A = this chain, B = another copy of it.
Amino acid sequence: MDYFGYVAAFLTTICWIPQVIHTYRTRELAGISLVMYIILVSGLICWVIYGALMNALPILIANTITVILAASILALKIRSVIHAKRLKA
């Protein structure tokens, strides 16, 4: 049974790598929801804290990797939003 847990954690962690590559390569950010990534990164930070407090290494490691990947997309999205606002100003 644990097998599904490990596969699930592995897949829902590595899935962010193709999105990071896709976003950095295409710079297509219009389809990315800023609100989603703000809530997601906040949630992932909570998972990292929870994993640390519970001494649950799999949760700590998986979510630390994911928060770095998701935060890199969020950073690009914030930059594009700021850039778009400057153009309008």
Contacts and interface: CB of A to CB of B under 8 A. Distances in A.
Interface of A: 1, 4-5, 7-12, 14-19, 21-23, 26, 28-33, 35-37, 39-40, 42-44, 46-47, 49-50, 53-54
B33 A19 contact: yes
Report the copy number of this chain in the oligomer: 2
A33 B20 CA distance: 9
Contacts of A30: 26, 28, 30-31
Contacts of A43: 7-12, 15
Contacts of A22: 31-33, 35-36
Contacts of A9: 43
Nearest to A1: B53
